[in-house]
Amino acid sequence: MTPPSFAAEPAEIKACCAQMYSSELATVLLGEDLHPGGATITSRLAGLLGLDSSSAVLDVACGRGASAIHLALSTGCTVVGVDFSDASVDAARQAAQAAGVSDLCTFTAGDAESLALADASFDALICECAFCTFPDKQSAAREFARVLRPGGLVGMSDVTRTDHADAELDSLLAWVACIADARSVEDYKTILTGAGLHVEHAEAHDEALLTLAERVRARLVLGRALSTVDPEATGGWDIDRAQDLANAAVRAIRAGTLGYAIITARRQ
């Protein structure tokens, strides 16, 4: 299918994101980690959050479990991963079993804006390259605060955007690609603060986003070949539209209007 121009309902946005990130094309384009910086950024978050074998961690929008598994292997923490896609949850369970950490990692389907988890049940929470895709960011931030124990930390890594003048970056496809509703660092801080979280740290990692965007642009050639062999592998997305978006994203990153940042915040 050709993605509609951006005028989508929240349920459609969530479904499209889930479809795309559980597709084979997502792995071809983004790699197993599905976010800029991969395990390097995840390790940086782990350090900022002070994770160790005593930590109970929630991974919101966990995808296929790469970050959760990395955290379990590198720190010994226990991780609960939540994702909107049943297919991603199934893949994450299989990956954890293959990595030998199924005793430390559990995965379940769920909505970040309404987590079916108990109050004050986690020491830390990570959310990587997903918060900007949530239609109701304020509700998601309140859920983050609710499930954290007092003193618990949120660690986010996400796309940042300071200029919304480029229409190419405002389509539903751009939303799914973590661009359309990306906000500035200050906007993210305001949302977290409004949920009762105290922002402690922010740092830029724009180079990680540029590296990923350039890789995606190159790999879309492979995506076109893959779609020729198996049209279902693309999740139905129009590869030509995706190439246009990738080109626009690279231009915006180089212009400094798109970036990537880590933010941590503590529940009081």
Is 171 within 8 Å of 180 (Cβ atoms)? yes
**How far is residue 46 from each of residues 75, 84, 154, measured CA to CA in Å?**
8, 23, 11
pLDDT per residue rounded down to tens, the chain (268 residues): 233 344 556 765 666 665 555 555 555 555 555 588 999 999 999 999 999 999 999 999 999 999 999 999 999 999 999 999 999 999 999 999 999 999 999 999 999 999 999 999 999 999 999 999 898 999 999 999 999 999 999 999 999 999 876 777 766 566 556 777 899 999 999 999 999 999 999 999 999 999 988 888 777 766 665 556 565 655 556 677 778 888 888 999 999 999 999 999 999 8
pTM for the whole structure: 0.83
Domain residue spans of the chain: 10-267
CATH code reported for the domain at 10-267:
3.40.50.150
